Structure 1
Amino acid sequence: MSTVVETVTDLARPIVAHHQFELVDVEFVKEGKGWYLRVYIDKPGGINIEECAMVSDELSEQLDAIDPDPIPQAYFLEVSSPGAERPLKKPEDFERAVGEYIHVSLYQKIGQSKVYEGTLEELRDDALDLTVNLKGRIKTLTIPRDAIAQARLAIKF
């Protein structure tokens, strides 16, 4: 269904840019018996429900105008904020997260784990440095960028 994501991304990008918001992510997923088209938007200071509704209305109008329908099955359109644990996907997401507490899932173990949480200290083209607390000891791990399966902001408890 990547063509759905690509089509919706192409439609959403100018709508979101017109309102000076950021298009964070688009996903098209099946959950249970239903399909969900999720569009995540944000802006400095956060996005509100009225802004999400406005983008939803405009995007829905654009999708309805396309013939043939790019999404033939029934689906639910959800436009929302990425939330406090915003995903880090694009290079600029990682750049903004320097100094922040993040969660990183890896394809393969580095050290004893495939999952780490810590402060993103430094970002390079090929790796990032993450300061983590491992059993009471503070260490800095260097994680190759191509080893990262998923990353997101995290809430430190």
Structure 2
Amino acid sequence: MALNLDTIRATAERVAASHHLDVVDLEYQGGAKFRTLRIFIEKNAEERAKLAAKTAPEGADEDAALPKGVPAEMLSGVTHEDCASFAQDFGTVLDVEDLMPGAEYTLEVSSPGLERRLQKPEDYVRFTGSLVKIQTFSPVNNNRHWQGRLTGFANNVLTLDLSAVKQKGKAKKAVTAPVVEIPLANIEKAQLVAEL
């Protein structure tokens, strides 16, 4: 039986939903002996809204569980207990349904982190206003690497405010305007940049 990542993802999403979680990403590495399946999870939208409601305005007493200065929307809300509970249930399903053929593999479950990858159009909408790092397939203004504040996402084109960060290298020379627009289809990699 061959490994089917689409089936594994669908199964992970089903198990995650029962824990009020969403699957953010899934990675598979390795060959016959040393195989690792990584699942990145976060609280679902309803649970993240509850987390955001717990944040206090600047200067007020904040919940000790929330890092100061980090917008609640950037937090996945996932605890060690969430990861352990999900890993136990999902690992059982993987084994029972034989979705990971072969004897040994490592299952790793974690949050996506503060510098999470952006993949779906919904990610760009959700994280509008955040600092991002972008790498494109083909150059935009003679540059493939950009860093700036994501100021908008419409019609599958994202808008970056380059004045939000000091540009380096080729980006410094490529900046002719303070704003650059990049089509989603041209994005090879995109991730948040933590602002602490």
TM-score by length of 1: 0.87
**Contact 1:119/1:130, CA 8 A, preserved across alignment:** yes
**Contact 1:100/1:120, CA 8 A, preserved across alignment:** yes
C-alpha distance in 2 between matches for 1:148 and 1:15: 30
**Residue 156 of structure 1: how far off its partner (Å):** 4.7
**Contact 1:4/1:28, CA 8 A, preserved across alignment:** no
Letter in 2 for 1:72: P
C-alpha distance in 1 between matches for 2:123 and 2:137: 20
Residue from 124, 132, 154 that aligns with 1:102: 132
**Contact 1:36/1:78, CA 8 A, preserved across alignment:** yes
Alignment of 1:2-151 (within 5 A): 3-30=3-30, 34-43=34-43, 44=48, 45=51, 46-66=77-97, 69-73=98-102, 74-133=104-163, 134=167, 135=172, 139-151=178-190
Aligned positions, number = 153
**Contact 2:42/2:111, CA 8 A, preserved across alignment:** yes
**Residue 126 of structure 1: how far off its partner (Å):** 2.7
**Contact 1:106/1:148, CA 8 A, preserved across alignment:** yes
**Contact 2:124/2:158, CA 8 A, preserved across alignment:** no
C-alpha distance in 2 between matches for 1:86 and 1:29: 19
Structure with bigger gyration radius: 2
Provide the alpha-carbon RMSD of the alignment. Answer: 2.2
**Residue 90 of structure 1: how far off its partner (Å):** 1.4
C-alpha distance in 2 between matches for 1:30 and 1:117: 31
Q: Report the 3-state secondary structure (helix = DSSP H, G, I; strand = E; otherwise coil) of the residue aligned with 2:113.
A: coil
Q: Report the 3-state secondary structure (helix = DSSP H, G, I; strand = E; otherwise coil) of the residue aligned with 2:180.
A: strand
Q: Report the 3-state secondary structure (helix = DSSP H, G, I; strand = E; otherwise coil) of the residue aligned with 1:42.
A: strand
Q: Following TM superposition, where does structure 1 have runs of at least 4 consecutive aligned residues deviating by more than 3 angstroms?
A: 133-138
C-alpha distance in 2 between matches for 1:16 and 1:89: 19
Percent identity for Structure 1 against Structure 2: 31
Letter in 2 for 1:88: L
**Residue ranges of structure 2 left out of the alignment (5+ in a row):** 52-76
